Amino acid sequence: MAQFNLEDYETVQARHARALEQYPDLRCVIHNHTTTNDRAQGIWVVAAQVFLSAEDQAADLPKAVEWAFEVDGVGMANKTSALENACTSALGRALRWALGGSSGPSREEMTKVARGVAPSAPAVPMPADFRELVTRATDLDTLRDLWKQAANGGFLDEAKQMMENRKAVLSRG
């Protein structure tokens, strides 16, 4: 169990509002650096830049740059919003450094910590008919749909090698 209180940490929304009060011309830019290989593994990778003014942005002089990644389906919010969570994490850290290292980690970052120390859920067994569905797949689009089904169903680890083998067969044509 986590040994901290999430209420003791500032949200990214509050940190952003505080930054806008101090720097009314604040500019926050988020870049998606996710590769095709990252997506195949259900990963999102982003960088956030914080510029204190339009002039700093035009000169490409960010006050802070931070990176974050999230994994699809890991934690409740990442079942639907992993990219958004990665953006929020990167922005929260970049704002922290732009404001002089203020207030420590954000509440969203500490939620990740709490998520990491929680007992992991037991693996979901692959449905009995899934292997047959993969074996009968005749094109890569069908296999992609099955991949999503495995990821959403929580049995991707068990299905991964079987699906990679079928993809290799289908790719050879």
* DSSP secondary structure, 75-112, as one string: SSTHHHHHHHHHHHHHHHHHHHHHTTSTTSS-HHHHHH
pLDDT per residue, tens digit, the chain (173 aa), is 456 566 666 788 888 998 999 999 999 999 999 988 888 888 899 999 999 999 999 999 999 998 888 888 877 677 788 899 889 889 988 998 888 865 565 656 666 655 554 334 445 677 878 888 888 888 888 888 888 888 777 777 777 777 777 777 777 76
Residue 79 burial (CB count, 10 A): 13
pTM: 0.58
Looking at residue 127, its pLDDT comes to 82
Domain boundaries, the chain: 6-117, 130-172
Write out the H or E segment, with its range, that includes residue 44: strand 43-51
